[in-house]
Structure 1
């Protein structure tokens, strides 16, 4: 049993975005158009270095810097070693390609495009690894803070009525603004497709974060303990071979499904916040599945209460609290 949950936790980065939950994939990088413009763009990024070792290629320089920053980030090997390893592989490919063309007077624009593509992939994966480590380290603290909030007296308010969020940024920290103040975020059953009315709530949250740039937000996803249909559950297991190899019981499959579904929903909220202009570095997202109910799962009302998204305001990455924490970690 213990090995099953170790594997389950390790699968989360994969299954959280599984197509079983019908989420939108991360959009690809926009393609350049116009051959002449593309040729000029690549060649403009080749800089001759006087007194140095020849030319340098700016996308490659950016990728090296990103990988250096990611490698230096505390905990990155623990939280997203796969992205970091992929970033290193992409950078190696870019370095090898550049070594082949660096001394040529007129390198092929197609080859430069390939090198730049590898370099951009390395940079993107390195940044993902770095920000994942930052978020996960912070989220460990946020989970404890959220547990404390859950233990307090719940805020009483009329059903369906949202309360305005006001005050200084410091006063907002620790407030559970979703659902307590801005309203509920809900999804189509068994999926991470957000309901239209909930998108407006996330939009209000984005406006709040824009109004208070020194704070961040932790998004927590929760489900009830009811699993999907047998067909959906088997699709989920089939999409995750490592899970299937553990030969889990149906109850274990349901718990793994709910854990992944809650993570996918939290990430869907985070993605919509980014689309509304909130920097990703100010957002953390995590799913807890059915492990933290707030009501009994024996009634429909209780199950509905347990199917929830919570958004807690936290100190942002550039806040005095965060800067002090980084200083303490480095001392």
Structure 2
């Protein structure tokens, strides 16, 4: 597309588009600032707690370090050959324990963030599929059909590589600078105090997508698509008579959803959502293909250096099984809490 040959935006329409774009940019800028302020405030509030916990961790580390040294000496006397494998997963120089720990932290962070976003998408998707509007029904059905019909790895690749090269190709056509000029975006951003964002938005010729962001988007979309169906089934499982009774006594729609619908939806949905959580924990290993240093990639690096595939992949299996075990215990307790007061048959 030749930007010179393209028809410029009309004055009135271009002005509206410019203010809309400026409003969106200002909103994103405000959200980023608010998130930064909240993070700083949380850090300020929990700084004393962190200091106490850090001191406790130091003490526990010293105690367990002494216990580990004693156990290591015992193993060295009984089975000297086993110390080689203990050294491989030890922390510090020569061991891979700290690398695996960093990978595990990134895996859990990726899963928790994707769970939060994906659950929100699932609620919106379930609402769209159950809405009386045919347009919302179409959007919800199209989203779940598309995402559930694609392999998770392909979804990740499309977001990380496809979106990257697609945006890069759009910038190379000169379309974005043309829109910025036609809408007078630079002047409008300057009026609201965001003039420094003009070069980054209107003049940029490169696009960078962070691996963590791409992983979160892909896993959130996948989790959201499957949780949409789980939540839709849970909403339909709530007896309609209770909703009709709530409306009969004068409850508003919002109050009915908060007091009657949502508490029971979680009771019906938690088993399915717990299963999806376990699946997503395993799907986090897919982000290793985009060079994100989560647990599986750290394990592969350790295997490549030490030439001990059975040992390190076996350790990775134990870690994933440990996460699964803790998750199953947690979901069981949450299900019991959500089902309190319900008679079991």
Q: Does TM-score exceed 0.5, indicating one fold?
A: no
Give the number of the structure with larger relative contact order, counting CA–CA contacts within 8 Å between residues 6 or more apart. 2
Instruction: Point out the structure with the larger helix share.
Output: 2
Instruction: Point out the structure with the larger strand share.
Output: 1
Q: Which has the larger radius of gyration?
A: 2
TM-score (norm 1): 0.28
